[in-house]
Amino acid sequence: MQLFDTARQEVVPFEPRGGRVGIYVCGITPYDSAHLGHAFVYHVFDVLHRRFRDAGLGVRSVRNVTDVDDDILRVARERGVDFRALATEQIRMFDHDMAEIGLLPVDAAPRATEHVEEMVGWIVRLVDDAYAYAVGGWVFFDSGMYPDYGRLSRLDHPTMIELSRERGANPDDPRKRHPLDFVLWQASAPGEPSWPSPWGQGRPGWHIECTVMSTGALGHPIDIHGGGDDLIFPHHESEIAQAEAAGVAPYVRHWSHVAMVNHEGEKMSKSLGNLVFVRDLVRRVPGAAVRLLLASHHYRTSWTYDDHEVDAAAARHRRYVAAMQGGGTLSHEAAHAHEQRFFERLDDDLDTPGALDELDAIAAELSSGSTGVAPGTEGQQLLGRLLGVLGAETEAVPA
């Protein structure tokens, strides 16, 4: 399997260690419904998971849940519910949506609120080693102590500082020693949930949870750590800093980032309101069709969702179903050749669009000119099996 590594900026062979692969993907903040962008990211890692599994590797996949942060507290306040209840409800809906489109359950889905104690421990180590400092109940990571900050995103310090200023962040916060210092721990405001710490009652910053929970669940180095490419900076950048500063180095062997999904001319995001929800799509077409829609885009190329794609994906799905129900046949040689090319494509940096081309070819051969009634032959079985690798298993027969 060849995969693009963000850190090295090139497609490199992924080498499993001892027949096992640990995958950690940054999950959601559960305060709103899952949209296509989320689905795309988790679909990509699901295909990767399935591919490794089918290749005989022991896969352990972990996807965290950021169940305490400004957004979730805000929404909970607006709706007058407890933030934990809101999180639990949203997680259930998220899991339901992902199951609808055929994602395998992850092996572990740790919630930030369940690991605060470990985070405090990690932060204490950083403070003890002078990589972090406390100011009035808050703790910041001292980026001045970590010159490599910016390595993953390939941004230099002046640029990062200028950017953060433009973006409304506050590099000039007088409490910070260096403009790029980031929050490890913050004092809770009145009414906010809080946990005890050496610096008073507070709650963790965003970045620390992933470093703590990923290494906690998978040890280190993490084989594959990924998420949407909007997380490269500052989230993953900061994870590396706080991990390596704590002596966990190398932290990650292979960084994998999935491109953004756009809609109506802009990145699909909560703040812009241009969302396409998974829930709405699965009401229109089978979950497998949604998977085919996602698989028709390469994970490193950002794309713009268009409503027509649903029809195209549904049509492709119907063709596959028809091919599996029909009595067309494929020679043993042809089946073998198709299967081989399918996996070559998939193993070449997860080229799912290329793999789909191969399935199209199989379906075309199975469909052309046949009206037979003897499904279940080698060709049909192959098509069904390969669809399974993409997470687009087709239900027996929806007539």
Partner RNA sequence: GGCGACGUAGCCAAGUGGUAAGGCAGAGGUCUGCAAAACCUUCAUCGUGGGUUCGAUUCCCACCGUCGCCUCCA
Binders of RNA in range 266-295 (CB under 7 A): 266-271
Q: Which of 21, 23, 26, 346 binds RNA (CB under 7 A)?
A: 26
Comparing CB distances to RNA, the nearer of 20 and 92 is: 92
Q: Does 301 bind RNA (CB under 7 A)?
A: yes
Q: Does 347 bind RNA (CB under 7 A)?
A: no
Mark the segment that binds RNA (CB under 7 A) among 48-56, 121-129, 283-291, 365-373.
365-373
Beta carbon of residue 58, minimum distance to RNA (angstroms, whole number): 25
Beta carbon of residue 36, minimum distance to RNA (angstroms, whole number): 7
Binders of RNA in range 164-223 (CB under 7 A): 164, 166-169, 171, 179-180, 182, 206
Beta carbon of residue 213, minimum distance to RNA (angstroms, whole number): 14
Q: Does 327 bind RNA (CB under 7 A)?
A: no
Comparing CB distances to RNA, the nearer of 53 and 270 is: 270
Q: Tokens at residue 263, please?
A: 């809609």
Site mask for RNA (CB under 7 A), range 59-98, x = bound: -------x--xxx---------------------------
Q: Does 100 bind RNA (CB under 7 A)?
A: no
One-letter amino acid of 60: R
* SS3 at position 224: strand
Binders of RNA in range 141-170 (CB under 7 A): 153-155, 159-164, 166-169
Instruction: Please count the CA atoms within 13 angstroms of the CA of 322 that sit on its side-chain side.
Output: 15
Q: Which of 308, 395, 397, 398 binds RNA (CB under 7 A)?
A: 308
Mark the segment that binds RNA (CB under 7 A) among 49-57, 187-195, 310-318, 381-389.
310-318
Question: What's the distance, CA 378 to chain centroid?
Answer: 34
Residue 7: which of 207, 174, 256, 329 has the closest Cα?
A: 256
Rounded-to-integer distance, Cα 95 and Cα 86, Å: 14
Q: Does 233 bind RNA (CB under 7 A)?
A: yes
- Which string of b and e fits 156-180 if b means at least 16 CB within 10 Å? eeeebbeebeeeeeebeeeebebbb
Strand order in the sheet with 252-258: 58-63, 20-25, 222-228, 252-258
Mark the segment that binds RNA (CB under 7 A) among 12-20, 35-43, 124-132, 246-254.
35-43
Q: Which of 60, 303, 339, 347 binds RNA (CB under 7 A)?
A: 303
**Contact indicator for 288, 331 with CB cutoff of 8 Å:** no
Beta carbon of residue 207, minimum distance to RNA (angstroms, whole number): 9
**Contact indicator for 256, 225 with CB cutoff of 8 Å:** yes
Helix runs in 326-377, H state only: 332-347, 352-367
Rounded-to-integer distance, Cα 207 and Cα 212, Å: 9
Residue 275: which of 71, 34, 27, 28 has the closest Cα?
A: 34
Comparing CB distances to RNA, the nearer of 52 and 233 is: 233
Comparing CB distances to RNA, the nearer of 41 and 389 is: 41
Rounded-to-integer distance, Cα 181 and Cα 136, Å: 15
Q: Which of 364, 374, 376, 385 binds RNA (CB under 7 A)?
A: 364
**Contact indicator for 171, 180 with CB cutoff of 8 Å:** yes
Q: Which of 319, 347, 378, 393 binds RNA (CB under 7 A)?
A: 319
Beta carbon of residue 18, minimum distance to RNA (angstroms, whole number): 28
Beta carbon of residue 220, minimum distance to RNA (angstroms, whole number): 20
Binding residues for RNA, total number by CB under 7 A: 81
Number of neighbours of residue 53 by Cβ within 10 angstroms: 15
Our CA dihedral for 195, 200, 202, 205, rounded to 10 degrees, sits at: -110
